[in-house]
Amino acid sequence: MTTETRPSNDPATVPRLHLRHGHSIPHLGLGTWPLVGEECETAVRYAIRSGYRLVDTAFQYRNEDAVGRGVRTAGVAREELFVSSKFNKESHSVDGVQRAYDRSLQALGLEYLDMFMCHWPVPALDQYTEAWRGLVKLLDEGRVKAIGVSNFKPDHLEKVIAATGVVPDVNQIQLSPDLARLPPRAMHQDLGIITEAGALLVANRDCVTTLSWCRSHDGQQRLRRRFCSAGTSSKESSRSRRPPNPHGWSRTSRCSISP
């Protein structure tokens, strides 16, 4: 899907990536941090009506209620959308994940999530394996369609997989033009994990020229085509605190790269 023309509202035209546990994730979507309240609700509704089918939130964002209102008032059937959320360290136990899931559903006003994720491993707490067991339980019970992690390093992934035998559908990590993250991406490819990139267009080092090109209209289109041609699900962030522009990348973005 390019941005020279208005994205189609036909869900059949939205490219998707297959996930390990049978679900599929759209190539292009909206990350909602740090929007809250009416501004967040408007951005979500605008994005969905513009053709976006993936919306990402988290308990830590404090906007699940607004995201839910945007989803419910967008006028698009729920089954056409992919909605994901994440839980915090306070929920790092099997029962804690169940409670966090119910809390997110209540805040969103939805009957199910397409994907639920552990937001951070928090190694100092060393309970992320139990958090992963909780996610596996949700998946086994059919309450969620996909499960993932966020900010997990290769050793964290190895530990949860060894403990449960279950590989995450997605790992959401920081990825940008100056931060390629090749080792974890290689591991993801070997395991069949979708790499979901955060802050795609945010500078982490001295890469002003690269980022200026990426933020130009032409650069944005070429970067989007590059990721999509590689099997990518992009989540454009609302960090600019305005509704997403269907004709160009927002200031920061997240994207998912398939194996």
How confident is the model over 51-92, as pLDDT tens digits? 999 999 999 999 999 999 999 999 999 999 999 999 999 999
Q: Give the active site residues.
A: 61
Q: How many other β-carbons are positioned within 10 Å of the β-carbon of residue 239?
A: 18
Q: What is the CATH number of the domain that holds 171?
A: 3.20.20.100
Structural domain includes residue 8: no
Whether 81 contacts 40, CB under 8 Å = no
Structural domain includes residue 239: yes
pLDDT tens digits along 164-185:
999 999 999 887 777 788 899 9
In the numeric block, the tokens 């933020």 are attached to 215
Dihedral angle, C-alpha 32, 103, 91, 253, nearest 10 ° = -10
Q: How many residues does the chain have?
A: 259
| Reported confidence tier of residue 100, pLDDT bands at 50, 70, 90 | very high
Give the residues across from 173 on adjacent strands: 197
Q: How many structural domains comprise the chain?
A: 1
Whether 145 contacts 115, CB under 8 Å = yes
- Residue 239: CA count within 13 A, CB half-sphere: 14
Dihedral angle, C-alpha 113, 38, 44, 47, nearest 10 ° = 170
Structural domain includes residue 9: no
For 104-132, b where at least 16 C-beta lie within 10 A, e where not — what string?
A: bbebbebeebbbbbbbbbbeeeebbbbbb
Structural domain includes residue 246: yes
State the residue range of the domain holding 131.
15-257
Structural domain includes residue 10: no
Structural domain includes residue 108: yes
Q: What is the largest CA-CA distance in the chain?
A: 49
Q: How far apart are CA 39 and CA 224, in angstroms?
A: 25
Compare 206 and 110 and report the one with higher pLDDT: 110
pLDDT for the residue numbered 223: 53
Structural domain includes residue 1: no
Structural domain includes residue 7: no
Q: How far apart are CA 167 and CA 128, in angstroms?
A: 14
